Amino acid sequence: MIEEVEVLLSTTVPLPENRTPKCLELLRAAKAVSRDMAVEAEARSFGVVLQAVAKWRRTALGDAVEYGRRDRFLLELEGIAKDTLGPL
């Protein structure tokens, strides 16, 4: 939606009192903030998943084979998180 408003402002008659540049600047700032919030939310969500998997892994402490399998799964997820979001 923000991008659509930006396109509309960029392609219509300028607003009075030279307000168009300021509006475009504010829209670009809003896009940046929205993007940052989305990345942060994604990181938090992935963190919750990793915590749940770590807890699930701990439930297999009495079974070395199952614990190893779950540990490999957790390490794989951590690798995906690192590739997607950067260092944890």
Quote the domain boundaries for residue 25.
2-85
Name the nearest CA neighbour of 32 among 67, 73, 3.
3
First-last CA distance in the chain = 31
Residue by residue, pLDDT tens for the chain (88 residues) are 888 988 888 898 999 998 999 999 999 999 999 988 988 888 888 888 888 988 998 888 889 999 899 889 888 988 888 888 776 5
Going through the chain in order, the beta strands assigned E by DSSP cover none
Domain count, the chain: 1
**53 Cα distance to chain centroid:** 19
Q: What count of other Cβ atoms lies within 10 Å of the Cβ of residue 69? A: 13
In this prediction, residue 22 carries a pLDDT of 92
